[in-house]
Amino acid sequence: MKLSIGIVGLPNVGKSTLFKILTKVQVNIANYPFCTIDPNIGVTPVPDERLDTLTEMSKSKKKVPAVVEFYDIAGLVKGASQGEGLGNAFLSHIKEVNAILHVLRIFPSPDIIHVEATVDPLRDREIILSELALHDLQIVERRLPKLETEAKAGSKEAKQALPILTKVREHLSRGESIAEYADEVIVRELQLLRSRKLVYLLNGREADIPASLFDTIRAEGAGYVVADLENATEIPELIRAAYKTLGLITFFTTGEDETRGWTIKEGSKAPEASGAIHSDFQQKFIRAEVVHYDDFIKTGGWAEARQKGLLRVEGKEYIVKDGDILVVRHG
Ligand SMILES: Nc1nc2c(ncn2[C@@H]2O[C@H](COP(=O)(O)OP(=O)(O)OP(=O)(O)O)[C@@H](O)[C@H]2O)c(=O)[nH]1
Ligand SMILES: [Mg+2]
């Protein structure tokens, strides 16, 4: 699976600065709101020392890290759903992302314009979350009447979806997360943003962050990373935090041709994990030879791991662990 993350926040909070650090792509960064209009899309490798070690041990010609795709979009403002600022139509650019990265301004710097005049990350968080909810509500309100008609006409799917979407509307109108409905067919179909997992990037210094902000973020079960973007050159913790929040892990394939990292959901069984390598592998999966990275390093390679009985043959029910090295056998 490809991990993709949409960056949201008020204008001028450092979204494009973050995007540039992550992806090394040159983008417009300026001290004025709405500097970004068209979305910037870029990928960043998942930092993982294990990949370097494996590449050396296997003398691989290529090293291919797992990647995360980032979408840097325009800033949202209060009233965006009513057309303020650039409106909210540009949110459609991130409707397919797996997670939302919410940049909050912590840094004081009076010379950098703040669209709400003062630095107040708790207020800004509310503004953005409610604009995301209002965006979703517009979609839900359009769908509900059609769903009612379909349910009356006897559609089984519509009858199932109707009570769910009605609940979703209630939560959204109260500005609440709908993460608990993320796996519902209707919510997936409508690609609602408030169903996505959240990670916060607190742009500034730890000392300037109000304790209540940490409490709020913890209470909503989101991840966060503190980074002073102005002085940052890379932020691997951010990707690790995103992985953790999203329940993702990495497994490896390694050989003379290439050593490569793959992103999967924690708890994935071997066939599903193999599907990350090639979609055909999921259906045609027979078995996998598995050695954990730690054992591979300890023993010194395939032959040694096999000798010591640390190379296992696993079937369709095997749950792949973070750091597993796989050789997939398929039909
Ligand atoms: N002092 C300070 N300035 C920062 C920091 N991060 C970003 N800036 C500045 O803030 C301004 C806005 O940064 P951008 O990255 O363009 O902000 P943005 O969120 O992409 O803004 P829009 O595209 O307009 O929504 C630029 O002048 C940055 O140099 C920071 O950590 N400290
Ligand atoms: Mg920008």
29 ligand 1 Cβ < 6 A: yes
30 ligand 1 Cβ < 6 A: yes
State the average pLDDT over residues 213-234: 94
Residue 30 has pLDDT above 90, yes or no: no
- 323 contacts 294 by C-beta, under 8 angstroms: yes
Provide the residues around ligand 2 (an ion) whose CB is within 5 A: 15-16, 35-36
For 264-309, write each residue's pLDDT tens digit.
989 999 999 999 999 899 999 999 999 999 999 999 989 999 999 9
Residue 25 has pLDDT above 80, yes or no: yes
- Edge-first strand order for the sheet with 99-105 is 40-45, 67-72, 3-8, 99-105, 197-203, 223-227
- Ligand 1 center from residue 203 Cα (angstroms): 9
pTM of the complete model: 0.90
State the pLDDT at residue 140.
97
Domain ranges in the chain with CATH number 3.40.50.300? 3-47+65-246
8 ligand 1 Cβ < 6 A: no
- Ligand 2 center from residue 268 Cα (angstroms): 36
Amino acid identity for residue 206 in this structure: E
For 123-180, write each residue's pLDDT tens digit.
999 999 999 999 999 999 999 999 999 999 999 999 999 999 999 999 999 989 999 9
The CATH-assigned architecture of domain 3-47+65-246 is 3-Layer(aba) Sandwich (3.40)
- Ligand 2 center from residue 35 Cα (angstroms): 5
- Ligand 2 center from residue 28 Cα (angstroms): 7
Domain ranges in the chain with CATH number 3.10.20.30? 267-330
Residue 198 has pLDDT above 70, yes or no: yes
- Ligand 1 center from residue 230 Cα (angstroms): 8
Residue 38 has pLDDT above 90, yes or no: no
17 ligand 1 Cβ < 6 A: yes
Amino acid identity for residue 20 in this structure: K
- Report in angstroms the alpha-carbon separations of 94 from 196, 198, 224, 232: 11, 13, 20, 25
On whether the 267-330 domain is CATH 3.40.50.300, my answer is no
Residue 2 has pLDDT above 90, yes or no: no
State the pLDDT at residue 1.
63
Burial grade of 164 (CB within 10 A; 0-12, 13-18, 19 or more): middle
State the pLDDT at residue 240.
85
